[in-house]
């Protein structure tokens, strides 16, 4: 069973007869702005479970007969498919009704909502954010020093760009391994293990003497880096109050931009002032994760994860099922949810193409093509990342009101309009302004990413599926910098020494193509704003255990009442 909890949303109806059986198909708490997935949700499925505003479990039927109503995503009828695509535009734009409902649930000023967080929840968020930020710093340590590394290892910028591609290709391996570990054994110890491995690899990176050794260490780093996102995002967000999750999603995702910004600062402060050059940055970056490990060890296991596992154990006892619930749910994901998973991978590929296409060769363009000094390059890169951080936070919070898809679509359109000044203006003031607003849009749409993935992925596999979808998208986009560097060789800059190319033109062309495809993908995609997906039908028992878990979460967040639970419906596929 795939059960969907959502604050609102029209669904893909199975048949008119089924609608009639459901009493006209009137849902609970529906609006025009949400549509959940490619899965068919019939009226018989809608009969499965409904939870009222006061938290009372009204009708929980999980009989064997209901299992016959499960429908594979590749067995959708033609009418269901047509209905889905007909609603892509009607559910994309916010309506007065959806905006009114959003204003009732989410505060316009996001920062008071952060006061709902307990000190423990704040610490969970911070340790997750720090891991993701440092992960980004370690990744950008190469792209920020490509020219220096190439000279030191007797290679070319194109050769060093292959190391970036290699890291992106192998990140999915780490996402699979540690995503499984995070969902099977908890968030705490997989987090600590990944930090230990990062320390070892970063130290080793500073001692390489050849290009082949450099590639080998970066390959290992790619596996380790891929393990961090799923564990870190689950640690940071899953325990947070619903009212604060949108703004926290934006802040968390901008750990990536913050890592880039820290890299720019540390390159100027450490690399430019050390006799060891770029190697000193890798040695330095191995230190802070020690503190992250200590902090995480002092915190307990994620309360949300602990409660989920307790419910699964009680479920196994009630059903006398000796079979592993974990693997039963894993098969359910592959069987009933695979189209949505494929879509998430494609979507994450577009996300990653957009960021790598605008960031990986940008420092090289500044220093090689425009002859920016180290100070000028530092200023421009810092301005870009300040725009990224601002955009990620503002757009993520705005998406709580206007919808995730609509917020992303607006950012894509504005980013497309900014490509020309960003790629063709070399004047410092003009370039600083254009790169600020371009990164505001690029990282603004990225700010919606963590919360979007959390809402679309079943909570039993939150670490695994978010991490794998993210890193599979990374793998698909892994050749971004190499493609740009290769195409750039066809556009040498007149009046410049050999080996200097028009990277601005190449990046603008590349990003124009990426944004066009991205726009189509996000318009055609599903949305589950404010909802959750739960696989285990046994958790939704007649005792209302599922709602009790949510009530406990709310009570932990400054003793919110059960009555504050927003209307939602649960569906079975």
Higher pLDDT pick, 291 / 249: 291
User: Chain-wide mean pLDDT for the chain?
Assistant: 76
439 — pLDDT class (breaks 50, 70, 90): very high
Does 99 reside within a domain?
Answer: no
Tally of domains in the chain: 2
Distance from the first to the final alpha carbon of the chain: 5
| pTM confidence score | 0.71
- Calculate mean pLDDT across residues 521-531: 83
Q: For residue 332, what are the CA distances in angstroms to 64, 325, 336, 456?
A: 16, 10, 6, 15
Asked if residue 170 and residue 226 are part of one domain, the reply reads yes
Asked if residue 496 and residue 536 are part of one domain, the reply reads no
Using the predicted structure, report yes or no on whether residue 261 has a pLDDT greater than 70.
Answer: yes
408 — pLDDT class (breaks 50, 70, 90): very high
Beta bridge partners of 3: 534
Give the containing element (helix H, strand E) for 77.
none
**Backbone torsion region of residue 27, taken as left when φ is above 0, otherwise alpha when ψ lies between -120 and 50, otherwise beta:** beta
Query: How many angstroms separate the CA atoms of 346 and 477, rounded?
Result: 10
Higher pLDDT pick, 460 / 270: 270
Does 232 reside within a domain?
Answer: yes
Higher pLDDT pick, 467 / 314: 467
Per the CB < 8 A criterion, the answer to whether 415 and 444 are in contact is: no
Does 101 reside within a domain?
Answer: no
Does 103 reside within a domain?
Answer: no
DSSP structure string for 250-263: HHHHTHHHHHHHHH
Asked if residue 192 and residue 333 are part of one domain, the reply reads yes
1 — pLDDT class (breaks 50, 70, 90): very low
DSSP structure string for 288-339: HHHHHHHHHHHS-S-HHHHHHHHHHHHHHHHHT--S-HHHHHHHHHHHHSHH
Asked if residue 422 and residue 311 are part of one domain, the reply reads yes
Asked if residue 502 and residue 555 are part of one domain, the reply reads no
Residue 230 is predicted with a pLDDT of: 84
State which of 489, 504, 524 marks the end of a domain. Answer: 524
Does 214 reside within a domain?
Answer: yes
Does 100 reside within a domain?
Answer: no
- Calculate mean pLDDT across residues 230-236: 88
* 296-344 confidence digits (pLDDT tens): 999 999 888 888 778 777 766 555 555 566 667 677 777 777 888 899 9
Query: How many angstroms separate the CA atoms of 459 and 466, rounded?
Result: 10
Asked if residue 210 and residue 77 are part of one domain, the reply reads no
Nearest in space to 280 (alpha carbons), one of 169, 148, 478: 148
Asked if residue 69 and residue 189 are part of one domain, the reply reads no
Asked if residue 126 and residue 189 are part of one domain, the reply reads yes
Query: How many angstroms separate the CA atoms of 63 and 417, rounded?
Result: 54
CATH of the domain at 470: 1.20.1250.20
- Calculate mean pLDDT across residues 359-383: 85
Asked if residue 420 and residue 273 are part of one domain, the reply reads yes
Does 233 reside within a domain?
Answer: yes
Q: For residue 263, what are the CA distances in angstroms to 267, 304, 385, 404, 442?
A: 6, 33, 11, 30, 19
Asked if residue 350 and residue 227 are part of one domain, the reply reads yes
* 8-45 confidence digits (pLDDT tens): 433 333 333 333 333 333 333 333 344 334 443 333 23
Using the predicted structure, report yes or no on whether residue 112 has a pLDDT greater than 80.
Answer: no
530 — pLDDT class (breaks 50, 70, 90): low
* Domain region containing 82: 3-91+530-570
185 — pLDDT class (breaks 50, 70, 90): confident
Asked if residue 53 and residue 168 are part of one domain, the reply reads no
Using the predicted structure, report yes or no on whether residue 49 has a pLDDT greater than 60.
Answer: no
Question: Residue 65, Cβ neighbours under 10 Å: how many?
Answer: 9
Asked if residue 564 and residue 502 are part of one domain, the reply reads no
Backbone angles phi, psi at 302, to 5 degrees: -55, 120
Residue 166 is predicted with a pLDDT of: 85
Does 7 reside within a domain?
Answer: yes
Residue 120 is predicted with a pLDDT of: 92
């Amino acid at each position: 069973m795939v059960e969907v909890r959502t604050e609102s949303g029209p669904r893909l109806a199975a048949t008119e007869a089924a609608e009639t059986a459901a009493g006209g198909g009137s849902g609970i708490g529906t609006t025009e702005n949400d549509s959940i997935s490619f899965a068919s949700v019939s009226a018989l499925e809608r009969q499965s479970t409904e939870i009222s505003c006061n938290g009372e479990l009204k009708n929980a039927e999980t009989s064997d007969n209901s299992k016959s109503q499960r429908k594979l995503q590749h067995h959708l009828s033609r009418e269901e498919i047509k209905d889905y695509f007909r609603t892509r535009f009607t559910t994309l734009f916010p309506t007065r009704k959806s905006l009114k409902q959003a204003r009732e649930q989410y505060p316009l000023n996001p920062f008071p909502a952060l006061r709902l967080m307990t000190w423990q929840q704040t610490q969970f968020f911070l340790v997750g954010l720090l891991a993701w930020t440092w992960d980004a710093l370690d990744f950008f340590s190469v792209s920020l020093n490509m020219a220096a590394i190439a000279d030191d290892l007797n290679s070319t910028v194109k050769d060093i760009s292959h190391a970036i591609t290699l890291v992106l290709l192998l990140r999915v391996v780490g996402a699979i391994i540690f995503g499984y570990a995070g969902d099977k054994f908890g968030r705490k110890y997989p987090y600590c293990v990944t930090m230990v491995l990062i320390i070892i690899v970063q130290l080793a990176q500073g001692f390489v003497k050849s290009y082949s050794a450099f590639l080998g260490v970066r390959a290992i780093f790619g596996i380790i880096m891929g393990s961090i996102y799923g564990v870190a995002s689950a640690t940071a967000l899953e325990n947070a109050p619903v009212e604060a999750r949108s703004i926290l999603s934006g802040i968390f995702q901008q750990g990536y931009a913050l890592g880039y910004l820290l890299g720019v600062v540390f390159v100027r402060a450490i690399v430019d002032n050390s006799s060891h050059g770029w190697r000193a940055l890798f040695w330095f970056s191995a230190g802070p994760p020690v503190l992250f490990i200590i902090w995480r060890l002092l915190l307990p296991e994620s309360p949300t994860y602990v409660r989920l596992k307790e419910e699964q154990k009680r479920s196994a006892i009630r059903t006398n099922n000796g079979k592993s619930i974990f693997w039963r749910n894993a098969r359910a994901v592959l069987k009933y949810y695979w189209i949505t998973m494929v879509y998430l991978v494609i979507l994450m590929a577009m996300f990653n193409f957009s960021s790598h296409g605008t960031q990986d060769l940008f420092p090289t363009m500044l220093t090689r093509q425009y002859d920016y000094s180290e100070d000028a390059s530092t200023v421009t890169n810092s301005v870009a990342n300040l725009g990224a951080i601002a955009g990620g936070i503002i757009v993520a919070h705005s998406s709580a009101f206007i919808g995730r898809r609509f917020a992303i679509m607006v950012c894509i359109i504005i980013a497309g309009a900014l490509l020309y000044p960003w790629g063709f203006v070399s004047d410092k003031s003009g370039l600083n302004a254009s790169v600020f607003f371009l990164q505001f849009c690029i990282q603004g749409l990225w700010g919606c990413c963590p919360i979007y993935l959390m809402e679309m992925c079943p909570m039993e596999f939150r670490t695994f599926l978010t991490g794998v979808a993210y890193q599979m998208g990374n793998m698909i986009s892994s050749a971004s910098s190499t493609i740009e560097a290769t195409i750039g060789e066809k556009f040498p800059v007149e009046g410049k020494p050999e080996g200097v190319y028009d990277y601005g033109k190449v990046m603008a062309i590349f990003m124009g193509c990426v944004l066009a495809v991205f726009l189509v993908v996000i318009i055609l995609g599903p949305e589950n704003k404010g909802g959750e997906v739960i696989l285990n039908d046994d958790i939704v028992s007649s005792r209302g255990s599922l709602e009790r878990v949510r009530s406990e979460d709310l009570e932990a967040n400054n003793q919110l009442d059960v009555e504050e639970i927003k209307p939602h419906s649960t569906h079975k596929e």
